[in-house]
Structures are given as structure tokens and as C-alpha cells.
Structure 1
Amino acid sequence: MDLITLTGLRVRGNHGVFDFERRDGQDFVIDVELGLDLRPAAHSDDVADTVHYGELATRLAEIVAGPPVDLIETLAQRLVDACLADSRVARARVTVHKPQAPIPLTFTDVSVTMTGTR
């Protein structure tokens, strides 16, 4: 299985359990790995024969910037579902990073990774 990887998509969203997270929002960082057969695109040299990663990035950003959810697990599942909407994608692995999570300790990142398969 071949891979398309999109790393570090930064989008402002209003997800979280606390009222101030939904009110003020914060940045979320999204990493995506798609498993699919890239040979048709490699042979044709035509973007129509692959997943257009620019269009995918736009769709994922719309979801992150869209209606809020409490948990980043829910957000990650919505992003996995969006990736699998393209029938050529056999596997989608999505990591949602929440680097400004409301934790009263020094930390670098909190993330959730979910994988979906066809």
C-alpha cells in the first residue's frame, strides 16, 4: 500500500469540554496518512487519479473550524470519515494535536490518533 501524508495542518477550532475553549478557540494541528494504490496516478500523471491533497486539506480544515465537539476523539473520527469518503482510500490514520490543551502543567502536546479502514 502506498501513502499520501499531510503533516502539520494548523486550524483554529472551538473544541473542548470547557466553556472557555468553545468561546475562545485554540489551534489544532492535524496529521493525516492515507493508504491507497498510487500506481494509477504514477502511470497517468493525472491528479484525477489520486487524492488531491489540497482539496483534502481544505475539507479537513472545514471540519476542524466547523461545529464544536467536546472530545478530540470525536473530531479525529470525523476527520477519518472524511478521508475514507474517497473510495480509493483503503486506510486513513489521523492524529489531532491539541498543543494548548487546558492542563495546568508544562507539556508539549496532547494528541489522539485514530485509524479507519475500508
Structure 2
Amino acid sequence: MALDRITLTGLRVRGNHGVFDFERRDGQDFVIDVVLELDLAPAAASDDVTDTVHYGELAGSLAEVVAGEPVNLIETLAHRLAGVCLADPRVRAATVTVHKPQAPIPHEFADVAVTIRRQRA
């Protein structure tokens, strides 16, 4: 069965992640995109927000993780964010992209991002 999707893109949150001391001290903005795969038929039938993932609450939970305990790698951050998405048992899979547009790279660039996909066993 093909799954439906809920997509949240461009969630911008200040965090203190990185391998360098100045990244942890000064912080920087991270941009988060998530795609949740789940069956949305129950929500469509009931027209009740309790039958789906409340994306406002999801955004708040993701923001808490990004603003919370620092990690060295955005790979680790993405993994933690996927765990937040999969905490809702209705979510069968989650794709998470963590963008680090202010990464300490000594060349002009538009973005650095890591994307992971996690699914239920």
C-alpha cells in the first residue's frame, strides 16, 4: 500500500551544533525539512486533527531538539530528529534533512545538508 505524506519544510531554529568551539559558543541557524509517511485516510474520513500528526506540535518538538543539547555532527542531529518523527506510532517512515547554511567553509556556497530516512522495522 502506498503511504501518504506530511511535509514540513524550512523550519529555522538556532542551535549550537558543530565540531568547532566557536560553533558551540556562538550558535547558528539550522533549517529542518521532514517528510512523514503514514496513512492519512483516518484523518481524511474524520476531519479530526487527533487522527493525524499535528504539524504544529511536531514543529515544536523538532525545534526543542535543535535548540537543545549540542552534537558535533548534523548526521547525529538528523538521527535524533527522525526519532522525534517516529515517536508517533502512525508514522511508518520519516525523511529528515538538516541544512547548515552557515557551515564554517572557507569558500562561497549555498548550503550544506544531510538527509536520512528511517522507517519502522
The two structures share one fold, judged by TM-score above 0.5:
yes
How many Å apart are 1:26 and its aligned residue? 0.1
Q: Could you list the runs of 5+ residues in structure 2 that have no partner in the other structure?
A: none
How many Å apart are 1:83 and its aligned residue? 0.2
TM-score (norm 2): 0.97
Q: Output the amino acid matched with 1:19.
A: D
1:50 corresponds to: 52
Matched ranges for 1:9-88 at <5 A: 9-88=11-90
- Runs of 4+ off more than 6 Å: none
Q: CA RMSD in A?
A: 0.2
Q: Could you list the runs of 5+ residues in structure 1 that have no partner in the other structure?
A: none
How many Å apart are 1:104 and its aligned residue? 0.1
Q: Distance in 1 between matches of 2:69 and 2:88?
A: 22
How many Å apart are 1:115 and its aligned residue? 0.5
Identity %: 76
Please, which of 94, 97, 103 is the counterpart of residue 96 of structure 2? 94
Task: Find the residue that maps to 2:11 and give its secondary structure.
Answer: strand
Size of the alignment, in residue pairs? 118
Q: Deviations over 1:7-47 (max 9, x none)?
A: 00000000000000000000000000000000000000000
TM-score (norm 1): 1.00
Q: Output the amino acid matched with 2:87.
A: A
Q: Does 1:115 find its partner at 2:86?
A: no
How many Å apart are 1:117 and its aligned residue? 0.2
How many Å apart are 1:51 and its aligned residue? 0.2
